[in-house]
Amino acid sequence: MKDQEFISRKADHIRYSLSSEAEAVESGSLHQWNLIHDSLPDLNLSEVSLESDWFGTKKANPFFIAGMTAGHPDAKLINERLARAAHERSWAMGLGSQRRELDSEFKDSAVEAIRKQNPGLFLISNLGIAQLIEIHEKGSWGPLFDLLERSGASALAIHLNPIQEAIQMEGTPRFKNGGAALKELSSRIRIPLILKETGSGMSRGFLDRIVPISPAAVDISGLGGTHWGRVEGLRAGEGTLSHELGRTFANWGVPVAESILNAKAAFSAMKPGPMILASGGIRTGLDAAKCLALGAHAVGFAKPALEAALQGDRVLQQWMEKIESELRVAMFCTGSGSIRELGSDRIERRDS
Ligand SMILES: Cc1cc2nc3c(=O)[nH]c(=O)nc-3n(C[C@H](O)[C@H](O)[C@H](O)COP(=O)(O)O)c2cc1C
């Protein structure tokens, strides 16, 4: 893959994902769930704690910025802002695909600088399954582990994006042997391995199949927010096959709530099971509260974080503060003093 092609594709992704047409809002499922109101919570709002378990350690809150970008000029400023704010507020942060560093001589000094400037940040490296399969088939694991070392990665997310690769004009829809590649990675890696969708969610059958891989976490990234079939269709433009496919598959995937419940059921016999991270159309701290009550351990945001970061450090900080406050209010009004207490007895499905 040519460097220039990668750079311009990544700039396109930022541009098109900001369009409202790229979001599968009408297919989201969180509106079908209500948190149960408690008129007399036996606690004070100031006592509500957002403290969460994060791969065995405590973190001040259960949020992360989902991986979006890396390895091109526009990524530098966006990631610097996201990293600074995430570090300050104790959110975790994902990077976008770091594929360019494996495909060329490019070394991403911007990521190295982020790590140096934010030593306590939980920083998640990112690579696609198609690249992992290539590494597995060639048996060339060295460059991947060098990349993780250089990035100071706290964890590695492998993204699964069949709908995007199938519709993208220059896509790599080669997923055969993905299970074997993941199994080998899981046996070699020394930091948490996260299997991550990209907005089309996770079915029960898929989740059952990955149990033997024993990932440290899944990010179910469900249907209801940024949709990569739509983004690639928009990018390709009217009159192209990709555009037609993007329209046909505009709501392809498993909605967020169903994906969380699928993961909870699939991992119920594993003690301890993988962490369940939830992203995909989470737009408020109230959405986040619903995800936590359904069984997620942490909740992530991509598009809204990008929108805020593009407006500057102050707007980003204010947006994060709003998300945290919304979660706190939802917890107070359900009588949940801690994330652990915000469980399945605090949420119910609407009748219609
Ligand atoms: C501009 C942009 C670029 C993205 N690039 C990546 C990527 O490189 N790797 C990845 O795993 N996910 C990527 N994603 C997907 C997000 O991590 C997330 O799964 C998805 O956007 C759904 O979340 P949202 O509805 O909050 O946007 C990207 C999302 C956006 C908005």
Which pLDDT score, from 0 to 100, does residue 218 have? 98
Spacing, Cα 210 to ligand 1 middle (Å): 22
Distance, in Å, from the CA atom of 94 to the CA atom of 302, rounded to the nearest integer, reads 9
Helices (H), the chain: 3-17, 73-89, 99-103, 109-117, 129-138, 142-151, 162-167, 178-188, 204-210, 228-236, 241-248, 256-266, 285-294, 303-310, 313-333
Ligand 1 is surrounded, with C-beta below 6 A, by 13-14, 17, 66-69, 96-97, 126, 157, 159, 196, 198-199, 221, 225-226, 279-282, 301-303, 306
Reading the chain (352 residues) residue by residue, the pLDDT tens digits are 578 888 899 999 999 999 999 999 999 999 999 999 999 999 999 999 999 999 999 999 999 999 999 988 889 999 999 999 999 999 999 999 999 999 888 999 999 999 999 999 999 999 999 999 999 999 999 999 999 999 999 999 999 999 999 999 999 999 999 999 999 999 999 999 999 999 999 999 999 999 999 999 999 999 999 999 999 999 999 999 999 999 999 999 999 999 999 999 999 999 889 999 999 999 999 999 999 999 999 999 999 999 999 999 999 999 999 999 999 999 999 999 999 999 999 999 998 6
Which pLDDT score, from 0 to 100, does residue 13 have? 95
Which pLDDT score, from 0 to 100, does residue 80 have? 97
Domain architecture of the chain: domains with CATH: 3-349 (3.20.20.70)
Which pLDDT score, from 0 to 100, does residue 3 have? 80
Atom 15 in ligand 1: which residue has the minimum CA distance?
198
Spacing, Cα 67 to ligand 1 middle (Å): 6
Spacing, Cα 198 to ligand 1 middle (Å): 6
